[in-house]
């Protein structure tokens, strides 16, 4: 047996490698930099890494390769777009995360213990959040570009593990936060077991673990369909879990609520991009020729997801939970883009993911600002009259909500329109109609929040709006500007996407 040294094509992997390097340096910083400097060093390092990585992505934007990392990674237009989206969202998320007030001073300390109090007083910070974030981001970057099952699985775990951890690091309501971590972890592991099991059957079906090999078998149609179907079903469970589609959604409201808000925003936005990115790649390339088998099931799930998310969101009293259900509904809309299985669907999905991600980070960033003496106030009843107290914050939040609701002149509308038209084009009319109807239902609760903020008198209960730190302010402003700009003049981005978004196989 002759061993040939692998050729990795590091240029194409460089965005991910940069992130990993940054994360490793971050770990070293934890070990060697003094406490006082750690926070600022980590932040600078993280942002620097992300920007560098983004620049690298931009540099390789026209690369087309299936052979990077010995065929484990495919770099093509959608890959670039998704990676860039993830990085942009990661950067603004990090701006919000940088406001360390959200994280526990000492994760190991018992909630309410002297040790914790002391840690808070001494200004201790869990700066490990930064490298963890970078690890998660590199997992997210890898997830949608993976082109074999092993890399896919490793990337899935790589993006999940840091998130499980970070979900438990909230400064306040720590029991809830830890509970969120536990739930996220158990269910995540549970679903990844399904994912793995599905992978096994895909392997059994095609005798290959690469996407290309599986695709060949699907196209050839010579294999054993039962294995393929089981494989598709179980792999889908894993992916649908990550995107929060019903009935695999149950973790998301609890985790969104319990996790530190900046993490929630980051997770809601970036994970969705990564997971949908992977999903798009798998369904558009690997399973495309087996559309007959998965399309009806996925349509059913999309429909249930949209309706469930919209209906349950109506009944929510907590802003984070409401946004969680809203994100479930959006997962349903995005599934319509997967079902579409055409070029328009791909373009639309990428646009939607980016637009939704930016708005989500912005919205959660605003949630971090509304506080009382005990921390963030997420009870919607206490958001009453926010418009009176701080009109700009309320107006910005309203802007995000309108974008979620898909009101014209916001990015949400263009996204919804493009994704529905793509789905309609592919014949999924039922999904489109349900989508439109559930948008109407969804509008109901977005508007309810706007009513609360603007048309209800404030209650004097100590709820106030924190003056945002500069970084948070930048994140919010960036988000709202992008949200509006993409609603008013999305042409450049759409053109960019459509020119680039072609999967190579």
Helix residue ranges per DSSP H, 244-318: 251-258, 261-266, 272-281, 291-314
Q: Give which of 321, 307, 421, 418 is closest to 364, Cα–Cα.
A: 321
Q: How far apart are CA 211 and CA 196, in angstroms?
A: 15
By CB under 8 A, residue 329 contacts other proteins? no
Q: Which is nearer to other proteins, 193 or 481 (CB)?
A: 193
Stretch that binds other proteins, among 41-49, 372-380, 460-468, 484-492 (CB under 8 A): 484-492
- CA-angle at 145, arms to 142 and 147, nearest 5°: 110
Q: How far is CA 350 from CA 23, 77, 300, 334, in A?
A: 27, 11, 22, 9
CB neighbour list of residue 15: distance below 8 Å, 6 or more residues apart: 53, 54, 56, 57, 60, 83, 87, 141
By CB under 8 A, residue 162 contacts other proteins? yes
Site for other proteins in 367-386 (CB under 8 A): none
CB 239 within 8 A of CB 152: no
Within 13 Å, how many C-alpha atoms sit on residue 37's CB side?
8
By CB under 8 A, residue 474 contacts other proteins? no
* Residue indicated by tokens 């981001």: 137
Helix residue ranges per DSSP H, 8-128: 10-32, 35-59, 68-71, 77-97, 114-121
Among 33, 52, 176, 502, binds other proteins (CB under 8 A): 176
By CB under 8 A, residue 337 contacts other proteins? no
CB 223 within 8 A of CB 203: no
Among 40, 219, 224, 459, binds other proteins (CB under 8 A): 224
Site for other proteins in 308-327 (CB under 8 A): 308, 311-316, 321
Site for other proteins in 60-99 (CB under 8 A): 69-73
Q: How far apart are CA 407 and CA 411, in angstroms?
A: 8
- Least separation in angstroms between CB 437 and other proteins: 7
Task: Give the interface size with other proteins as a residue count (CB under 8 A).
Answer: 147
Stretch that binds other proteins, among 55-63, 184-192, 262-270, 329-337 (CB under 8 A): 184-192
- Least separation in angstroms between CB 352 and other proteins: 13
Q: How far apart are CA 336 and CA 421, in angstroms?
A: 10
By CB under 8 A, residue 180 contacts other proteins? yes
Tokens at 240, concatenated: 């649908």
Q: Which is nearer to other proteins, 169 or 341 (CB)?
A: 169
By CB under 8 A, residue 494 contacts other proteins? yes
CB 86 within 8 A of CB 137: yes
By CB under 8 A, residue 333 contacts other proteins? no
By CB under 8 A, residue 270 contacts other proteins? no
CB neighbour list of residue 40: distance below 8 Å, 6 or more residues apart: none
CB neighbour list of residue 302: distance below 8 Å, 6 or more residues apart: 245, 332, 333, 335, 336, 339, 431, 434, 435
By CB under 8 A, residue 340 contacts other proteins? no
Site for other proteins in 99-138 (CB under 8 A): 106-111, 113, 115, 118-119, 122, 124, 126, 128, 131-132, 135, 138
Stretch that binds other proteins, among 167-175, 267-275, 330-338, 363-371 (CB under 8 A): 167-175
Cis ω before 247 (30° cut-off from 0):
yes
Q: How far apart are CA 85 and CA 376, in angstroms?
A: 28
CB 133 within 8 A of CB 166: yes
By CB under 8 A, residue 281 contacts other proteins? no
- Least separation in angstroms between CB 460 and other proteins: 17
CB 58 within 8 A of CB 500: no
- Least separation in angstroms between CB 26 and other proteins: 9
Site for other proteins in 430-459 (CB under 8 A): 432-433, 436-437, 439-441, 443-444, 447-448, 451, 454-456
CB neighbour list of residue 437: distance below 8 Å, 6 or more residues apart: none
- Least separation in angstroms between CB 269 and other proteins: 20
- Least separation in angstroms between CB 271 and other proteins: 16
Among 76, 99, 254, 376, binds other proteins (CB under 8 A): 254
- Least separation in angstroms between CB 174 and other proteins: 7
Q: Which is nearer to other proteins, 311 or 503 (CB)?
A: 311
Stretch that binds other proteins, among 79-87, 220-228, 263-271, 373-381 (CB under 8 A): 220-228
By CB under 8 A, residue 49 contacts other proteins? no
């Amino acid at each position: 047996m002759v061993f040939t040294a692998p050729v990795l094509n590091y240029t194409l992997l460089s965005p991910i490698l940069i992130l990993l390097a940054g994360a490793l340096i971050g770990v070293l910083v934890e070990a060697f930099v003094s406490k006082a400097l750690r926070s600022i060093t980590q932040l600078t390092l993280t942002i620097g890494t992300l920007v560098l990585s983004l620049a690298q992505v931009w540099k390789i934007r026209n690369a087309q390769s299936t052979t990077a990392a010995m065929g484990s990674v495919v770099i093509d237009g959608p890959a670039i777009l998704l990676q860039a989206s993830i990085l942009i969202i990661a950067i603004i998320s990090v701006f919000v995360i940088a406001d360390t007030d959200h994280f526990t001073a000492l994760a190991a300390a018992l909630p309410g213990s002297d040790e914790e109090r002391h840690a808070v007083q001494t200004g201790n910070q869990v700066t490990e959040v930064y490298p963890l974030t970078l690890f998660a981001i590199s997992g997210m970057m890898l997830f949608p570009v993976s082109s074999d099952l092993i890399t896919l699985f490793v990337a899935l775990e790589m993006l999940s593990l840091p998130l499980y951890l970070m979900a438990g690091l909230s400064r306040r309501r720590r029991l809830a936060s830890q509970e969120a971590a536990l739930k996220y972890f158990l269910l995540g592991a549970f679903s990844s077991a399904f994912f793995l099991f599905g992978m096994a059957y895909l392997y059994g079906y095609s005798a290959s673990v690469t996407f290309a090999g599986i695709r060949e078998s699907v196209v050839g149609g010579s294999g054993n369909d039962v294995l393929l179907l089981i494989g598709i079903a179980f792999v889908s469970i894993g992916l649908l879990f990550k995107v929060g589609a019903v009935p695999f959604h149950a973790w998301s409201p609890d985790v969104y609520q319990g996790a530190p808000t900046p993490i929630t925003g980051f997770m809601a936005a970036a994970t969705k991009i990564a997971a949908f990115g992977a999903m798009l790649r798998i369904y558009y390339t690997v399973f495309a020729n087996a559309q007959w088998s998965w399309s009806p099931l996925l349509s059913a799930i999309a429909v249930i997801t949209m309706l469930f998310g919209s209906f349950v969101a109506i009944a929510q009293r907590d802003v984070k939970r409401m946004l969680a259900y809203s994100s479930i509904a959006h997962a349903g809309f995005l599934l319509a883009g997967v079902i579409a299985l055409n070029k328009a669907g791909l373009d639309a999905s990428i646009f939607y993911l980016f637009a939704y991600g930016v708005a989500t980070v912005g919205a959660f960033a605003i949630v971090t600002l509304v506080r009382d003496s005990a921390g963030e106030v997420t009870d919607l009843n206490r958001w009453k009259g926010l418009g009176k107290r701080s009109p700009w914050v309320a107006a910005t939040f309203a802007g995000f909500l309108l974008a979620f609701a898909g009101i014209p002149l916001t990015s949400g509308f263009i996204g919804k329109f493009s994704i529905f038209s793509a789905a309609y084009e592919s014949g999924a009319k039922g999904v489109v109609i349900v989508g439109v109807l559930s948008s109407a239902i969804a509008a109901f609760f977005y508007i309810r929040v706007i009513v609360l903020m603007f048309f209800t008198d404030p209650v004097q209960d100590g709820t106030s709006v924190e003056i945002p730190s500069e970084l948070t302010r930048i994140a919010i402003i960036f988000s709202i500007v992008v949200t509006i700009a993409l609603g008013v003049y999305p042409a450049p981005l759409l053109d960019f996407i459509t020119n680039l978004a072609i999967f190579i196989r």
